[in-house]
Structure 1
Amino acid sequence: MSNRAFFSSTLSDFLNLSAEEIIGRIAKHHTQSIEHTQTFAWTEQVNALKELEQLNNTDGHIYFEFLIPRMGKRADVILVHRGVIFVLEFKVGSADFYQADIRQCHGYALDLKNFHKGSHNKHIVPVLVSTKAKSNKALCQYDNDQVANPLESNGSNLARLIEDTASLTNAASFDAYEWEKSGYLPTPTIIEAAQALYGNHKVEDISKSEAGNKNLSVTSEQLLDLIHQARLNKKKVICFVTGVPGAGKTLVGLNIANQHSNTEDNEYSVFLSGNGPLVTVLQEALAIDKSKRESTTKAEARRQTSQFIQNIHRFRDEALDGSVPPEKVAIFDEAQRAWNAQQASKFMQSKRNQPHFNKSEPEFLIEVMDRHKDWAFIIALIGGGQEINTGEAGLAGWLDALKNQFSYWDVYCSDKLLSGEYVSEGINLDNICEINKLKSLHLSTSMRSFRAEALSSFVHHVVAGDATNALAISKTLRGNFPLFITRDLKSAKQWVRHKSRANESKGILASSNGIRLKAEGIFVKNRFDPVAWFLNGHDDIRACHFLEEVATEFDVQGLELDWCLVAWDADYRHNGKRFEHWKFKGTKWQRRRSEEDKKYLENAYRVLLTRARQGMVVFIPKGSEDDCTRLQEFYDETYSYLVSCGFQTII
């Protein structure tokens, strides 16, 4: 048996075996109880494929139940024939070619191309076989990445379709054995990664990128060892884990929490985030996945997943009575977004009936874990340049609390923690005891975009107003990560719809203060349902794919899409020399005066521009001389500046 498939053989051997022998070999490796319908489906597939004896070349190779990377599922049949990889997805008894089935088959082909090393330079043709359908679609057209549009067959013409396609392609033959054993380089979305971890996959199995990044598993192992040593030596420890946007900080935290998610575990851990949409989406995605895998109700699955991932505010409020939390390890995602003393005190006094509360959120959270008499462990996941809300303390809030109240805690971090991206000038760790610097606590490679490792650097220069460096990096992205710009919203939507294939996600993003985008039909103040937007299907009008509901920086931080349409309003406008910071209040634009307020706006655009995994288009309105809140001059220089950064225009 192939490591990748339940059945693997040369086409010649397959044709010489009986259907019973083939099905017996497939069934032997099936881990679940086999229903009669599954055996019947395999029988239909084998019988349909027996007509492949008509092919001119019988030296091909065939696989049943072939493992597809990233998705963690199996394609019904893979056929390697004359240098072409055919991905065959059977829908036995189906009388039509349904869009969901076409997207599934196409998705398998795309994931092979992107995440299976041996398939990167191969021609791949997805074929949907609906056995009761009357018509066929056999015209093969390849996209730029050599993945064809899905073909449709009812099975009766399969050999002719495959032979004609192979002749048209005229590809060079290759060794199927070498191809199948080449490595998988999966780069899952955070939702897929969380589901895989919760399903007991290892972090190293889902975290390999094209850059060969092994940092995630190294960081996870380092943290697990430090937790273990803290328990044995009865120490109180805080670890700061830094990383570039999309490097996998959240994934590291989820991995630790998942490995110690049992309440009886003596290193019991919890993953905490103040990012409401992220928590809601991950909890629901895990519940859906768990209910399917374990045949349990979604309500019961949701109850369990809500313990694994919690909202940090729930954790905080439950500790107001002075109780000791059951968790010995607390993992704070996006810890730089914890509230400063002013914001935390204002909220707790007015909303939680705590008139004497006068602490920053970091100070209180450390205090809560410090209630453990023997040992405790905090992992603070820190992203640079991601504070987007008023009152967010940043890293300084944590450092001040350690310095002033908890200097006896051991501190671990990497050298990168001291860089300007994570701390403001003048802040240092000199007065904090037990500083331990470990290189492995920094994640340096972005995994969000498997096609463009340099995207975060490009966005950094764009937001900073540095067109020269942005342009230089954009040239390295072209071909791998499309960057386009347009003044026409309809064209922008057409672009993302054209780019998005199979089950790839797409959506509209905009700044939460992009109020005047309303004139273009983009409503940033609408009520937003993150679960429906991120998790619902392509046919649901509430889902991101419909390009109707818009998500802001608050909705998408920590999450991602394959293709993004970023609508850019006049709140962050370029004047030809530098960016200006504006806020729309009431009926007019007002300048942002405080440096903190300006930083939040810059970070909002930084978040919006780093959500795409495969490419994005920016929409800049043309404005109107008849509307003083949308004058053309508010937008024209921004458009020109972004073009100078390397965004290509849609004609």
Structure 2
Amino acid sequence: MPAFYRASVSDFLNADPATVIGQLHLQSRHAVSNMRTATVVSWERTVTALRDALREVAAGIPTARRWGLLLEYEIPRRNCRIDCVLLAGQLVIILELKTGATGSASAAKRQVEHYAIELRDFHAESRNRRIVPVAVLSGSPLFQLQLDPDEADLVQPVQITGDVTLSRTLLAVAHVHETAIRGGQIDLAAWDESAYAPIPNIVEAAQMLFAGQSVREISHAHTDAYNLTKTTDVLVDAVQRAQRERRKAVCFVTGVPGAGKTLAGLNVVHSPDLLRDGRPVGAFLSGNGPLVKVLIEALAQDHHRRTRETLAESRRRARTFIQSVHGFLKAYRAPGRPPPERVVVFDEAQRAWDAEKVRKELLRRATSEERNHLGPALSEPALMLSIMDRWPDWAVIIALVGGGQEIHDGEAGLAEWGRALRERFPHWEVVASPEALEGGPSVAGSRLFPDGEAGSLSVRQERYLHLPVAVRSFRAQAVAEWVNAVVNGHTEQAAQIAAQVSSFPIKLTRSLDEARRWLKQKTRGYRRCGLLASSGALRLRAHGLEVSSGFRSSFPFQEWFLAEPDDVRSSNWLEVALTEFECQGLELDWVGVCWGGDFSWGGNTWEFRQFRGSTWQSVQKPTTREYIRNKYRVLLTRAREGLVIWVPEGSVEDETRPPEWFDSTAEFLRQCGATDL
């Protein structure tokens, strides 16, 4: 059972405290290798406090003796335990007891609220039940009750109390939630052994894989809708088949934003079925520099905490888990030996550079002598294929493809892969999802072969290489389609989709302060919120938000994603807005998108601008327009739980912020289904 100890309140009160402590200690030996004396002392204080409080509660509410009690309940796969859970009729009460000077009231409140939200969202037996989190501070005179029931959320406000006032708190909670208390008693064993299916974000998922778990252990709760493991199995089979038949293959995996493409790629590289001499047979490569930096730092910090190895050594290990694709291509650009890996996963393959971009980068970095001898450059898809083609027998490239998220000049898109394969590498087998071949919302309509002609290539369609369900958002699967409709100017379609995703709030406000208040209100426990803005929205500076490249290059965006909520560098402080370049491939629970003048609704269509010097200039070049559109596509698809869009009022005194641009944009978003705060 997950809990170290479980019993009815009656049995707990009748038990010898030493027996309870002994069972806790015995169970802990199976779960924790280095039990500390301080932990045992903490249990003694906890058991004493609970016995004193529950005696008084049972005296006032005789039926409380039938309540269920669990101590040290493990939240599976989260590496944390809840001190105490009380199952009071149909009410779930979570107690986090802080003995001695083990943390502030705010930290205890955040922790117990986080546990409550985890149970609400992912614990089957807690589903649709009210949950009351209580932070208990030993020896504290604090007695802060917020007893008004929250009808909008099953997780009720956190109650803060001391151990000496715990009984009063529990009696007050029982009185307020009398209907739930008088309901049928929750089955103690069923609750303890309940299914628990968390949905990790990409950072959490990478940490789990790095720690040795498999995708089967961390796949999302909606397994009845789609099983992420099928995609992994198909990819592993493709690698094994290529090895067995001594052939070369490239696999194209597609999916809606947040569907788990990166997770599937990481799992293939580190699959036990593909290990060679105990080491991965492949490499996971990403051209997304910020994603690489954030994941490496997150993996290193987690590994350091788990193993007590130095942070420097942990970072060295983490760098083997995910690598920069540009560094990989640079290392093997010159003809010659193949890389040691037979399998490479190319994350966000649609963002691979075209030949012109590659040549520009080579010229920028070359000496004057090297520039004189620089010949034609290959696009990154062609270069990657040529590098892996050096293996005489077999090799596999797994291309993870998003759609409509090319946000920088020179990003070649899916079609460049098809062109390189058809013209230069017709002997490679292509295994692709239907969307990669036929187009669809997840790839913004782009196709591997835009004209439908694959030439002499062997092409095999595999439906499980498309991930249609968003792991990122467990509340709404149609958000990506809503965003596509919005940025493409399809008002009616967007409004219809918005009506179907009411459980994923899409809010609109004209006030930045109001957006911040809403985000802070929604961000409970250890959830994260943050502001995002287009890198082209330079006039947000008038509102105190700086998005210039000079500022962004010096800001520690890893800390923005990873720092604790009390750290001023954390995204939760809502002081710094990251752009599409820093957030692509990553995610937050609650997002505030700050709209800029680079992309405004003109009444019938979108208008595109770039800020030059002191004025805006209209953009006419189709590819640049598409990059601007895609910036907002990225920004609007970063949220796991909900979104607020802040459209500034503009200013009649500032010609770079004309109110009509923003008024028309706000009205258009309302018509698309965004609702005012």
TM norm. shorter chain > 0.5: yes
For residue 256 of structure 2, the aligned residue among 233, 238, 244 is 244
Q: Does 1:13 align with 2:16?
A: no
1:289 is matched with which residue? 302
1:383 is matched with which residue? 402
2:224 is matched with which residue? 212
Deviation at 1:20, TM superposition (A): 2.4
Deviation at 1:16, TM superposition (A): 2.4
Mapped partners of 1:524, 1:154: distance in 2: 45
Paired residues of 1:349 and 1:357 also in contact (CA < 8 A): no
Q: For 1:45-92, what per-residue CA distance to the aligned partner results, in whole angstroms no more than 9, with x for missing partners?
A: 112111213322211111122122563421111111122111111211
For residue 558 of structure 1, the aligned residue among 549, 574, 585 is 585
For residue 492 of structure 2, the aligned residue among 468, 471, 474 is 468
1:36 is matched with which residue? 37
Are residues 633 and 247 of structure 1, via their aligned partners in 2, closer, same or farther at CA, if it must alter by over 3 Å? same
Mapped partners of 1:533, 1:294: distance in 2: 25
1:313 counterpart letter in structure 2: H
For residue 446 of structure 1, the aligned residue among 462, 470, 492 is 470
Deviation at 1:429, TM superposition (A): 4.9
Mapped partners of 1:317, 1:20: distance in 2: 64
**Matched position secondary structure for 1:240:** strand
Mapped partners of 2:126, 2:453: distance in 1: 48
1:404-443 aligned at under 5 Å gives the runs 404-421=423-440, 422=443, 423-424=446-447, 426-443=450-467
Q: 429-438 or 534-543, which moves further after superposition? A: 429-438
1:514 is matched with which residue? 537
1:484 is matched with which residue? 507
2:358 is matched with which residue? 344
Paired residues of 1:207 and 1:214 also in contact (CA < 8 A): no
Q: Does 1:279 align with 2:292?
A: yes
2:155 is matched with which residue? 147
Q: For 1:403-452, what per-residue CA distance to the aligned partner results, in whole angstroms no more than 9, with x for missing partners?
A: 11111111111212123343258333531522111111100011211111
Mapped partners of 1:160, 1:419: distance in 2: 64
Mapped partners of 1:95, 1:29: distance in 2: 23
Are residues 324 and 278 of structure 1, via their aligned partners in 2, closer, same or farther at CA, if it must alter by over 3 Å? same
Q: 349-358 or 484-493, which moves further after superposition? A: 349-358
1:120 is matched with which residue? 127
Are residues 241 and 95 of structure 1, via their aligned partners in 2, closer, same or farther at CA, if it must alter by over 3 Å? closer
**Matched position secondary structure for 2:74:** strand
For residue 108 of structure 2, the aligned residue among 101, 126, 143 is 101
Q: Does 1:500 align with 2:500?
A: no
1:82 counterpart letter in structure 2: G
Mapped partners of 2:269, 2:583: distance in 1: 22
Deviation at 1:103, TM superposition (A): 0.6
Mapped partners of 1:344, 1:352: distance in 2: 12
Paired residues of 1:280 and 1:530 also in contact (CA < 8 A): no
Paired residues of 1:449 and 1:613 also in contact (CA < 8 A): yes
Q: 617-626 or 351-360, which moves further after superposition? A: 351-360
Deviation at 1:178, TM superposition (A): 3.1
1:323-338 aligned at under 5 Å gives the runs 323-338=337-352
2:568 counterpart letter in structure 1: I
Mapped partners of 2:357, 2:591: distance in 1: 33
1:543 is matched with which residue? 570
**Matched position secondary structure for 2:163:** coil
Mapped partners of 2:209, 2:545: distance in 1: 36
Are residues 586 and 606 of structure 1, via their aligned partners in 2, closer, same or farther at CA, if it must alter by over 3 Å? same
Mapped partners of 1:101, 1:213: distance in 2: 36
Paired residues of 2:415 and 2:450 also in contact (CA < 8 A): no
Paired residues of 1:7 and 1:64 also in contact (CA < 8 A): yes
Q: For 1:612-646, what per-residue CA distance to the aligned partner results, in whole angstroms no more than 9, with x for missing partners?
A: 11111111111112222111122111111001111
Mapped partners of 1:34, 1:72: distance in 2: 15
**Matched position secondary structure for 2:400:** strand
Mapped partners of 2:291, 2:279: distance in 1: 27
Paired residues of 2:200 and 2:220 also in contact (CA < 8 A): no
**Matched position secondary structure for 1:247:** coil
Q: 602-611 or 224-233, which moves further after superposition? A: 224-233
For residue 233 of structure 1, the aligned residue among 236, 239, 245 is 245
Deviation at 1:96, TM superposition (A): 6.6
Give ranges in structure 2 of 5+ residues lacking alignment. none
Deviation at 1:549, TM superposition (A): 0.9
Q: 138-147 or 542-551, which moves further after superposition? A: 138-147
Are residues 20 and 276 of structure 1, via their aligned partners in 2, closer, same or farther at CA, if it must alter by over 3 Å? same
Deviation at 1:211, TM superposition (A): 6.7
Q: Does 1:576 align with 2:588?
A: no
Q: Does 1:157 align with 2:165?
A: yes
1:273 counterpart letter in structure 2: S
Deviation at 1:147, TM superposition (A): 0.9
For residue 53 of structure 1, the aligned residue among 52, 55, 58 is 55
Q: For 1:80-128, what per-residue CA distance to the aligned partner results, in whole angstroms no more than 9, with x for missing partners?
A: 1122111111211138743222111110011110111221211111111
1:631-646 aligned at under 5 Å gives the runs 631-646=658-673
Are residues 642 and 101 of structure 1, via their aligned partners in 2, closer, same or farther at CA, if it must alter by over 3 Å? same
1:366 is matched with which residue? 385
1:126-205 aligned at under 5 Å gives the runs 126-143=133-150, 144-170=152-178, 171=180, 172-173=183-184, 174-205=186-217
Mapped partners of 2:533, 2:122: distance in 1: 30
Q: Does 1:593 align with 2:617?
A: no
Q: For 1:288-321, what per-residue CA distance to the aligned partner results, in whole angstroms no more than 9, with x for missing partners?
A: 0001111111110100010110111111111134
Deviation at 1:574, TM superposition (A): 0.5
Q: For 1:462-491, what per-residue CA distance to the aligned partner results, in whole angstroms no more than 9, with x for missing partners?
A: 11111111111212222x222111111111
Mapped partners of 1:225, 1:262: distance in 2: 14
TM-score normalised by structure 1 residue count: 0.96
Mapped partners of 2:16, 2:245: distance in 1: 63
2:116 counterpart letter in structure 1: A
1:390 counterpart letter in structure 2: D
Q: 159-168 or 88-97, which moves further after superposition? A: 88-97
Paired residues of 1:272 and 1:311 also in contact (CA < 8 A): yes
RMSD: 1.9
Mapped partners of 1:449, 1:50: distance in 2: 41
Mapped partners of 1:257, 1:382: distance in 2: 17
2:234 is matched with which residue? 222
Mapped partners of 2:210, 2:115: distance in 1: 22
Aligned length: 647
Are residues 201 and 384 of structure 1, via their aligned partners in 2, closer, same or farther at CA, if it must alter by over 3 Å? same
TM-score normalised by structure 2 residue count: 0.92
Deviation at 1:263, TM superposition (A): 7.2
Mapped partners of 2:605, 2:146: distance in 1: 51
Mapped partners of 1:258, 1:515: distance in 2: 41
Are residues 429 and 209 of structure 1, via their aligned partners in 2, closer, same or farther at CA, if it must alter by over 3 Å? farther
Q: Does 1:395 align with 2:402?
A: no
Q: For 1:584-621, what per-residue CA distance to the aligned partner results, in whole angstroms no more than 9, with x for missing partners?
A: 12221112212211111111101100111111111111
Q: 13-22 or 117-126, which moves further after superposition? A: 13-22
Mapped partners of 1:340, 1:458: distance in 2: 29
Mapped partners of 1:441, 1:211: distance in 2: 16
Q: For 1:488-516, what per-residue CA distance to the aligned partner results, in whole angstroms no more than 9, with x for missing partners?
A: 11111111111111221111111110011
Give ranges in structure 1 of 5+ residues lacking alignment. none
Q: 351-360 or 363-372, which moves further after superposition? A: 351-360
Mapped partners of 1:243, 1:608: distance in 2: 17
Mapped partners of 2:456, 2:113: distance in 1: 54
